[in-house]
Structure 1
């Protein structure tokens, strides 16, 4: 896809979310990215960037585990477990989710996040 491994792109995105760096998120995420939250709510990339910039969403902890990468000719899918502590409009929120992030080659030969989906982990019976 690009010369930059998707793991490095995801680490840049993780750091941008933790620091509230909307400019870095805008460099990484397509404005039309389909961003599906674990609640089922759907945002565009632009809406998610705006929420970070306004402080509506603030991440305090964002850990990744159990990562796997799936390469296709023009896209790469990064699947992982995400454990997060955050604030949503000032209210504390924690989550343990399974996520997939789809990165695609853009017109300039770089990579942009075009889809993100998270779902709550099912607890063992």
Structure 2
């Protein structure tokens, strides 16, 4: 853990792993703990959700992930903000319809009161 404290990029990558793991396993308490209350989650479809709207979809099963693979390509920290450029692929069900996604994405984390919180996500489908 000490290595993560001295390497903020590694800490952010660890938080990203925790975020994806929580969503995949349905651990919404952990997911919400990682999130900033002002989260804006922009889906590859162009739809946007608040933290509550996104977790409501997960809670009700309107959005269900079956597999998520993600790879951070670059973590850039500027002041109290971390930008994570990544690639993500997933098998999921949206409103009962199965789907496979392959996207590039930007995840944004903000450090407030010595705690990193997930505040924004924007994904773009790969051709």
- For normalisation by structure 1, the TM-score amounts to 0.89
Query: What is the CA deviation profile of residues 7-33 of structure 1, one whole-angstrom value per residue up to 9, with x for unaligned ones?
Result: 000000010111111111110112221
In structure 2, the partner of 1:111 is 116
- For normalisation by structure 2, the TM-score amounts to 0.88
In structure 2, the partner of 1:25 is 31
Tell me the CA shift for residue 53 of structure 1: 1.6
Contact 1:20 1:55 in 2 (8 A): no
| Structure 2 residue 125 is matched with structure 1 residue 120 | yes
Q: Structure 1 or 2: larger helix share?
A: 2
| Structure 2 residue 44 is matched with structure 1 residue 38 | yes
Q: Aligned residues, how many?
A: 120
Tell me the CA shift for residue 110 of structure 1: 0.5
In structure 1, the partner of 2:88 is 82
Point out where structure 1 has 5 or more consecutive residues left out of the alignment: none
Q: Between the two structures, name the one with larger relative contact order (CA 8 Å, sep ≥ 6).
A: 1
Point out where structure 2 has 5 or more consecutive residues left out of the alignment: none
